[in-house]
């Protein structure tokens, strides 16, 4: 099973390499630069989405938290 997953990943990588090379007219350096640029942009977008989800979850959690009850009064 592990070998099948590794082979599928290798196939997917080969397809991406071919696409980037085609787009860059066979220029390997330009293809690599574009692939890295795309990967970094995807990473930034993923991080932004994660941070937004964390903020939304945090707001939802604090809205649903019960308020602590005050025991006693200031005059006691």
DSSP of 25-49: TT-HHHHHHHHHHHHHHHHHHHHHH
* 57 contacts 64 by C-beta, under 8 angstroms: no
Give me the average pLDDT of each 10-residue run along the chain (76 residues).
Answer: 85 95 97 97 96 84 64 57
Structure confidence at residue 16 (pLDDT) = 95
Structure confidence at residue 31 (pLDDT) = 97
Structure confidence at residue 19 (pLDDT) = 97
* 54 contacts 65 by C-beta, under 8 angstroms: no
Structure confidence at residue 63 (pLDDT) = 65
pTM of the entire predicted model: 0.63
Cβ neighbours, 10 Å, residue 31: 20
CA nearest to 31, candidates 21, 39, 42, 19? 21
């Amino acid at each position: 099973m592990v070998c099948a997953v590794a082979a599928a990943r290798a196939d997917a990588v080969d397809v991406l390499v071919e696409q980037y090379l085609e787009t860059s007219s066979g220029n390997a350096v330009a293809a690599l630069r574009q692939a890295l640029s795309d990967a970094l942009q995807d990473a930034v977008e993923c991080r932004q989405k994660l941070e937004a989800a964390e903020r939304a979850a945090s707001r939802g959690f604090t809205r649903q938290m019960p308020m602590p009850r005050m025991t006693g009064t200031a005059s006691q």
